A = this chain, B = another copy of it.
């Protein structure tokens, strides 16, 4: 459903948050190693997220990525929107130019509720809530 770029973004931000809690500011080399993603491309993804102000960064010795206000939760929706674009949850599933409930495609009545459930899910979940699951050993950040 989501592109690889978005997957890297989610995993990277979760790792950054987990390290921030421990008072650390990881760099892209460490991040990419821990989340099993391509190093340079992960740097690019994090740069874009920083430009979108979803994460902060400091250059130079001792620098790295971090959250300015770790208490301000970042929904997965914000990340998806930043990476995949604003239209992700409003496109017609049948490929028509617009999704229009008043003049629907034959998929709409069944598709829209699924799309809506996904939308609500990613608005409920946050980078922080994902990180907490991992810290409670209820989930894993990467897999061999």
B117 touching A111 by the CB < 8 A rule? Answer: no
Nearest residue, chain B, Cβ from A97 = B143
A139 touching B106 by the CB < 8 A rule? Answer: yes
A69 to chain B, nearest CB (A): 21
Bound form: Cα–Cα A93–B125 in Å: 13
B130 touching A96 by the CB < 8 A rule? Answer: no
Known contacts A1-B115, A114-B117; A140 and B95 CB within 8 A of each other: no
Contact residue range for chain A? 35 or more
Please give, as numbers and ranges, the residues of chain B lying within 8 Å of A24 by CB-CB distance.
none
A4 to chain B, nearest CB (A): 7
9-residue interface stretch from A8-16, A25-33, A48-56, A57-65: A8-16
Known contacts A95-B8, A143-B96; A111 and B121 CB within 8 A of each other: yes
In the complex, A134 has a CB within 8 A of chain B? yes
Q: Interface code A92-104, partner B: CB below 8 Å = 1, 0 otherwise?
A: 0111111010011
Interface positions of A (Cβ within 8 A of B): 1-2, 4, 7-8, 10-11, 14, 76, 91, 93-98, 100, 103-108, 110-111, 113-115, 117-118, 121, 124-125, 129-131, 133-134, 138-144
What 6 A-B pairs are tightest by C-beta distance, nearest first? A7-B95, A106-B130, A106-B139, A106-B133, A96-B143, A114-B118
